[in-house]
Amino acid sequence: MRRRVASVVSLLAILVVLLPAWVERDSYPLSTYPMFSYPRDRVAVVDTAVGYDATGRRMRLTPTIIGGGSEVIHAAVTVSTAIAQRDTDALCQEMAARAASRRPALVRIEVVSEAHDVIAYFEGEETPASVVVHSSCEVPR
């Protein structure tokens, strides 16, 4: 009898583990984690802001300059929202004001959408495949 109970429990455990492979519905506690497992494009578009120094060298901006705080996601959403609402000029001016005191070497800020080849990026090629400039503004002195 104990063997039969152990076999049934084992079989049920195996079925519970395999169930997500047959069921399309994703829910707790049996999740297929679709946010990590669905096929993605090789090119990703990233909304961000960049700064330039007097020599034209391009520099990444910190979340503090972009969104006024330390949260990376907040900074990303701030830029994406400004682009979607066509309000990038105001955001650019806000970032330039913050950059004036925090990054004095910067002379210009751009709000951009960058297209990156994801594989190449993680192999060390950080130069975007293409860039769309939504706004550009000077850093006040």
Strand order in the sheet with 130-138: 58-60, 43-53, 106-117, 130-138
Mean per-residue pLDDT, 71-89: 97
pLDDT for 2 equals 85
pLDDT for 29 equals 66
Percent of the chain with pLDDT over 90: 71
Interhelix angle for 72-84 vs 88-102, to 10°? 140
Mean per-residue pLDDT, 118-135: 95
| Closest CA relative to residue 100, chosen from 46, 72, 140, 129 | 140
- Please check whether residues 12 and 77 belong to one and the same domain: no
- Asked if pLDDT for residue 30 goes beyond 70, the answer is no
| Rounded (5°) CA angle 38-42-133 | 120
Per-residue model confidence as pLDDT tens digits over 34-49: 777 778 899 999 999 9
Name the domain count of the chain: 2
Rounded to whole angstroms, the Cα distance separating 33 from 24 reads 12
pLDDT for 37 equals 72
- Please check whether residues 100 and 47 belong to one and the same domain: yes
pLDDT band at 18 (very low <50, low <70, confident <90, very high): confident
CB 79 within 8 A of CB 66: yes
- Please check whether residues 30 and 75 belong to one and the same domain: no
- Please check whether residues 20 and 51 belong to one and the same domain: no
- Which residue range is the domain that position 70 belongs to? 43-138
CB neighbours of 116 closer than 8 A, spacing ≥ 6?
43, 44, 45, 46, 126, 128, 129
Please give the model's pTM, rounded to 2 decimal places.
0.74
- Please check whether residues 48 and 74 belong to one and the same domain: yes
- Please check whether residues 28 and 50 belong to one and the same domain: no
- Please check whether residues 49 and 32 belong to one and the same domain: no
Q: Phi and psi for 113 in degrees, rounded to 5?
A: -115, 120
- Mean pLDDT for the chain overall: 91
**How do 43-53 and 106-117 pair as beta strands?**
antiparallel
- Please check whether residues 48 and 96 belong to one and the same domain: yes
- Asked if pLDDT for residue 110 goes beyond 90, the answer is yes
- Asked if pLDDT for residue 88 goes beyond 80, the answer is yes
- List the single range of 25-29, 63-67, 85-89, 135-139 with lowest mean pLDDT: 25-29
